[in-house]
A and B are shown apart, each in its own frame.
Chain A
Amino acid sequence: MIASSRDPNREALAVAIALLASLAIGSALMLVAGKAPGHVWWLMVQRTLFTDAYSLGQVFYKATALVLTGLSVSIALDAGLFNIGGEGMVIAGVVACAVTGAALPQGTPSIIAIPLCIVVSAVAGAAIGALIGVMRVWRGAHEVITSIMLNAIVAGVALWIGNELLFQNGTTTGPPIAPGAELPQLGFGGSSANLSVVLALAAVVALWWLRSRTTWGQALLAVGRDPAAARATGISVGRVQIYAMIAAGALAGLAATNFVMGHKHAFEEGLGRGVGFLGISAALLGRMNPFGIVAASLLLGFLSSGGLAVAQEVPKELTEMLQGVVVLAVASAGPIARRYGKASS
């Protein structure tokens, strides 16, 4: 399996270095804010993981979306494309999911409503991905540029649709989706965690299987690592890249199920914003490995939820900064670990 060619020890070393560095920098920030770092860290862990079920539920809620957008980034990068269109893909999924859900008759049974809304979310995201892939392969337009632009366009279109069609009397909330399209909540003290977590985990397993056990995955990774070799062995590089972007779009679009079907049950201005970009962090931190992305998403979810749990102690902005610190640390730890790995071997 081509995916196994990264040295796992070195990857683990890189992440360990990054997390220690983040811990140190976070502690320094807390000291600057006049707080005892040990105390704050302990409170964060204690409240999020042990005493406050709601905070723990929020970790899962946030991680669910990050897993999907993280996988979206990683599958595109497997094919050699840097997908930063997660924002647009998620928003497209949110709009499509909410509009479809609201359009369904009130009495639609779940057995129809849930699969339909899931598929619609994925298709909406996939459409954005397909556009990016096609522009790249057929016209040579760089995917970073087109995906940035599409993020802005999709956000604008979503707001326009909201204003024109969805928002109800002076609010920024659209009509509710049919009750049959709602995903059950998981409890956790009334948190937003819901059954879409199963969907995210299924996507993880499916992607792991595709990458490591199928010719499709072999072709995908060959295209990303050496397009010339892929071409010479009869793989259509352009087609694989377009498929990869479609899959990336579908994965990011699925994050809409978490927000719309699992939590808000309606379109809302700003719903799902930010997880596209944070998905890049999850993918980087997870070293592009499907299971690594799960761990990274949980960590980022913990920082976010835990930050709120200790908001009386340290400003929320400080823990938001921590998410950025972690990503910077991971990005710079790769080369450090490589050098260290070389020196020690």
Chain B
Amino acid sequence: MISVELDKSYPNCRVLTGAKLEVAPGTVHALVGENGAGKSTLVKIVAGILPADRGTLTIGGANIPLASWDRRLARRAHVSIVQQHGAFAGSLSVVENAVLGAEPTKHGVLDLKPTATALAALGDKLGLAIDPWARVDRLSLGAAQRAEIVTALHVGAKLLILDEPTAVLAPVEVEGLLKMMKGLAQAGTTIVFVTHKLDEVRAAAHAVTVLRAGKTVATFERSEDTAAIARAMVGGELPGQSSIAEPGGDAKIALALRGVSVAAEGALASIDMEVRAGELVGVAGVDGNGQRELALAIAGLVAHTGTISLAGRDLSGRTPRERLAAGLAHVPEDRQHGGLVLDASIADNLTLGRADITGRFRIDRGAVAKFADARIAELDIRPASRDAIARSLSGGNQQKIVIGRELSRPNLAAVIAAQPTRGVDLGAVARIHGQLRAAAKGGAGVLVISADLDELLALCHRVVVMLRGKIVGERAGAALREQGARAALGEWMTGTRGAA
């Protein structure tokens, strides 16, 4: 049905380098890979949403000129995509969305009835009950997605791309969706199914393509051997050695969590965890499995139950300020919304909330300048000017500011660093890792949350895996350095290996 081979770069970042995908007609083809592997980019290019840099695209035997390939042409070629976050306009009804851009009229007046009837009938036929007149913003995420799928098929999709369709669905809905995909394939529709959950792949896919770091690293004609697929996803290389010694058995507990839960949709379910002084602990997992809530709960930025203690002191119910004062450092996940005030200078960002540098009320400008210059030199922040506005810096340099502010706190007892090197260039990664190691060496317990398994294996003494708000697996010490550790972690991440 389709065959593609693509390259795609953004400024400072190569997303796809010779990514290949071949899909046979009438099959469900799974496209899997870790976060940031380039899955979404690849399918968006096929659907005409993003332009490719170069490559080839063949659909139904016809060679497609990529330069002019866009959404409109894709639709004409019967290629439809249901995107991760939905593309329907919320304030319109399902049927209004379905006709958007090609509204049917009768005597010059908008005539939605025939389309609505057809949509409902098609939905019934597929076993996807939808209400064409319902406003999209009043539907559950699952119902809205069903409506998008039915609409895509109504307009005649022969190739249907589903980009992480199960991310927003309840387990029962997932089952229904997987069944429906197989049914559609039997009826002749070709489906590309983007996911990183291997149990879904095993349940629904006929064939599998694995992307890693923008490259196609493996294809499987069958979907049963999920262990092999997981190995291909995370790569089989041996992890680098953590360069600092593990803390001794008598090291104090720096950070302890007991039964910590965050209510919102079971985002975090009764987490127990300990980080010893001098220990680097990694939290692995596919994005959205509670890691974000874990960081926010520890920092006191989200309401939680259970107890969180820092160096033996109970901090539950304390404000973020009190927690920071007690010796916590928090590197927020999103440096641009939460980590930095983008319109403020480097010096201001380095000293935000740091009363130990600025003074309590009147800002000690000499001390601020001295402190800022020291951090700029230590982390090689560029431009090396404390008055430069944070917004004008590259992502890596912005992240260095956050690291510089947080890891230089006095009396550091514990560090929680969420995605500390996401979207950061290699030089900055090395500096940031250096700072995290230095914090651990200085006696802090360091918790690193990352979607990048390589990073955690290179940095941490111990790695735990989170899935659906729980810790489902853990590897430490020698077991973390074994050949099979990576695959085991990968299987925990994707839910193909039972909780340890």
Residues in A lying within 8 Å of B, measured CB to CB: 1-2, 4-6, 213-216, 218-219, 221-222, 225-226, 228-236
Contact = CB atoms under 8 A, between A and B. Distances in A.
29 contacts: A2-B341, A2-B343, A4-B345, A213-B362, A213-B363, A215-B355, A215-B359, A215-B362, A218-B351, A218-B358, A218-B363, A225-B341, A225-B342, A225-B344, A226-B341, A228-B332, A228-B337, A229-B332, A229-B341, A229-B352, A231-B320, A232-B301, A232-B339, A233-B320, A233-B324, A234-B324, A234-B325, A234-B353, A236-B319
Contacts of A229: 332, 337-341, 352
Given A215-B361, A216-B361, A232 B343 contact: no
Interface string B307-323: 00000000000011101
Nearest to B344: A2
A228 to B, nearest CB: 4
A213 B354 CA distance: 15
Contacts of A4: 345
A2 B320 CA distance: 22
Contacts of B334: 228
A218 B348 contact: yes
B320 A215 contact: no
B330 interface: yes
Contacts of B324: 233-234
Contacts of B348: 1-2, 218
B389 interface: yes
Contacts of A216: 361
B138 to A, nearest CB: 22
A226 B337 contact: yes
A218 B334 CA distance: 21
A53 to B, nearest CB: 42
B299 interface: yes
B360 interface: yes
Contacts of A213: 362-363, 365
Contacts of A232: 299, 301, 320, 330, 332, 338-339
A229 B334 CA distance: 10
A1 B387 CA distance: 9
Given A216-B361, A232-B332, A2 B345 contact: yes
Given A225-B344, A228-B337, A214 B362 contact: yes
Contacts of A234: 319-321, 323-325, 353
B302 to A, nearest CB: 11
A5 B389 contact: yes
Nearest to B332: A232
- 4 tightest Cβ-Cβ pairs between the two chains A and B: A233-B353, A234-B321, A228-B338, A2-B344
Interface residues of B, number: 35
Given A215-B359, A226-B337, A231-B338, 5 more contacts: A215-B358, A225-B341, A230-B352, A234-B323, A234-B325
Nearest to B343: A5
Contacts of A236: 319, 321
B321 A235 contact: yes
A228 B325 CA distance: 18
Nearest to B337: A228
Contacts of A235: 321, 352-353
Interface in B237-290: none
Interface string B46-84: 000000000000000000000000000000000000000
Contacts of B338: 226, 228-229, 231-232
B360 A215 contact: yes
A5 B332 contact: no
A2 B346 CA distance: 10
Nearest to B362: A214
Nearest to B345: A5
A214 B343 CA distance: 18
Contacts of A226: 337-338, 340-342
Interface string B220-247: 0000000000000000000000000000
Contacts of B360: 215
A229 B338 CA distance: 4
A229 to B, nearest CB: 5
Contacts of B361: 214-216
A340 to B, nearest CB: 19
A2 B353 CA distance: 13
A194 B348 CA distance: 40
B358 A5 contact: no
A225 B345 CA distance: 12
Contacts of B332: 228-229, 232
Most A Cβ at <10 Å: residue of B330, B340, B354, B365 = B340
B293 to A, nearest CB: 15
A235 B324 CA distance: 11
Nearest to B338: A228
Interface string B348-375: 1001111100111111010000000000
B315 to A, nearest CB: 13
B363 A214 contact: yes
A131 B500 CA distance: 54
Residue of B299, B319, B338 with highest tally of chain A CB at under 10 A: B338
Residue among A5, A221, A225, A236 facing the most chain B CB atoms (10 A cut-off): A5
Contact of A218 (B301, B352, B389): B352
A2 B389 CA distance: 9
A230 B332 CA distance: 12
Output the residue of A1, A219, A221, A236 with the most chain B CB within 10 A.
A1
B133 to A, nearest CB: 32
Which of B324, B348, B351, B365 neighbours the largest number of chain A CB atoms within 10 Å of its CB?
Answer: B348
B344 A215 contact: no
Contacts of B345: 1-2, 4-5
Contacts of B323: 234
Contacts of A2: 341, 343-345, 348
Nearest to A1: B348
B339 to A, nearest CB: 6
A215 B352 CA distance: 8
Interface in B365-399: 365, 389
Given A215-B358, A228-B337, A232-B339, A222 B352 contact: yes
A219 B362 CA distance: 12
B344 A5 contact: yes
Contacts of B355: 215
A232 B324 CA distance: 9
Nearest to B330: A232
Between A6, A214, A228, A235, the greatest number of chain B beta carbons within 10 A of the residue's beta carbon is seen for: A228
Nearest to A223: B341
Contacts of B363: 213-215, 218
Nearest to A3: B344
A215 B358 CA distance: 7
Contacts of B330: 232
A231 B339 CA distance: 10
A101 B348 CA distance: 45
A230 B341 CA distance: 8
A218 B365 CA distance: 12
